[in-house]
Amino acid sequence: MNPTPLFLPCAAGVEPLLADEVRRILSEVAPRAAESLHLGRGGVRLVGSLNTAMRLNLESRLASRVLWQVAAGGYRDERDLYDLATGVDWPAWIMPHQTIRVDTTATRSPLQSLHFASLRIKDAVCDVMRAENGQRPDVDPRHPHVALVLHLTEDRAALYVDTSGEALFKRGWREAKGEAPLKETLAAAMLAAAGWQGREEDGPLLDPCCGAGTIAIEAAQITCGIAPGLNRSFAFEKLAPFRAEAVAWQQLKAEARERQHAPRVGVYAGDVSFRMTDFATRNAERAGVAHAIEFKTADALQRPAPAEHGILILNPPYGERIDAKGTGSAPRTYDPEHDFDDEGPAPRGARSDAGAREGFEDGGSPTAFFNALSAHWKRQYSGWTAWVLSPDAKLPQAMRLKESRRIPMFNGSIDCRLFRFDLVAGSNRKPAEDGSVARRGDEDTDR
């Protein structure tokens, strides 16, 4: 099968990071595909072969899918969509006993019903298949063998076969989730935005509020050279055109395994809840990186820096979704099932950091938590860079820190910012790489 247009959707705002990643994956092995790459809205486009599609499924951390275009053209109504889809050689893709599903996405489409658009595509596929084989595929909305994606703009339609199946953020290692886990693709986007590639020069990494461990596990796989898709299967493995590529697919996976190596830098993670560090440890075991992460059940408001410098990267507890805990919270009843620290069971809310405790009698409000966190970082993490994902645009004020970067990112449908804070002690304020100067807020209590 000839190279064809591929579309790799991703979360809004992540497109440039995905473009860099795809270029990095392909520049040596498929330079023409890498050169054909274009930034699109909600993803990137390129022209690639079956091999390129398989490789991107295996290696991309930021794409949510790899879509293989089978038809594209102008349209005015559903009849045009039907005609477009009847032009595809469906028997080359679908066997009569296999099931299908059609999803439609649109930007400024004039059509009344996207559901009806999906139905017309399904009709076209079934009519072509019936004419060819006397049999039509069934629809399975949940686990189809072949998932089709129709994308409509104002006057253009593109029809794709989804080569990924389950969305790519499902890496195959997560069983224990916790309360508010990040998608793996978003954790990877945070790391990419921070420019952290797991090299020695990137320095060690700590997520002190790790929950189910998503950021640390992504980071550990990166620093060990582990491809994100090695633990899962993909829809293309059952698609007819890819079956001829079975040997090449095994080879791609074998090469990816050979590229794995010992961790190049330290990855540290922890959570105040023993239950969460236990979840995270089990997830790390399944992801093959338990050896590369040092987990600790610890209060982020007290945890000492594990190295002289490095990056802190986290999505801290916020709002109703998940409570801030630790010394910033009002003392609570001891829960023997969940409340342990490294030394064994201990009542949560035990206070040992006098400075961080000040002003917490309000019962652990987010403001008190972030105040205490920045006070702790200023004392113990000078020389580190912190990257914090938050839906609160006023987080820098709450932390009494001036951000040196603010990158828009979506956590699902939640509009967030990834803030960068350069943690410098006292007068040792240094300009950030982008030329801005990290300053403490005027009301900084830690001067």
User: Which residues of the shown chain bind ligand SAM in the complex (CB under 6 A)?
Assistant: 178, 180-182, 208-212, 214-215, 271-273, 276, 299-301, 315-317, 322, 324-326
Residue closer to ligand SAM by CB (options 153, 365) is 365
Q: Cβ 217 to ligand SAM, closest distance in Å?
A: 9
Residue closer to ligand SAM by CB (options 48, 366) is 366
Residue closer to ligand SAM by CB (options 81, 216) is 216
Q: Cβ 176 to ligand SAM, closest distance in Å?
A: 9
Cα dihedral sign, 88-89-93-95:
positive
Q: Cβ 63 to ligand SAM, closest distance in Å?
A: 19
DSSP-derived pairing of the beta strands 414-422 and 405-411: antiparallel
What length does the chain have?
447
Cα dihedral sign, 298-299-304-305:
positive
Q: Cβ 266 to ligand SAM, closest distance in Å?
A: 19
- Neighbouring CB atoms inside 10 A of 75's CB total 23
Residue closer to ligand SAM by CB (options 337, 434) is 337
Residue type, 392: D
Q: Cβ 393 to ligand SAM, closest distance in Å?
A: 17
Element (H, E) at 323: none
Q: Cβ 357 to ligand SAM, closest distance in Å?
A: 12
Question: Do 63 and 43 meet the contact criterion of CB atoms below 8 Å apart?
Answer: yes
List the structure tokens of 335. 């829960």
Residue type, 349: G
Q: Cβ 191 to ligand SAM, closest distance in Å?
A: 12
Residue closer to ligand SAM by CB (options 304, 435) is 304
Q: Residue 39 to residues 36, 155, 300: CA-CA distances in angstroms?
A: 10, 20, 38
d(CA 228, CA 60): 7
What are the phi and psi torsion angles at 163 (to 5°)? -85, -10
Give the three-state DSSP class for 56. Answer: helix
d(CA 246, CA 242): 7
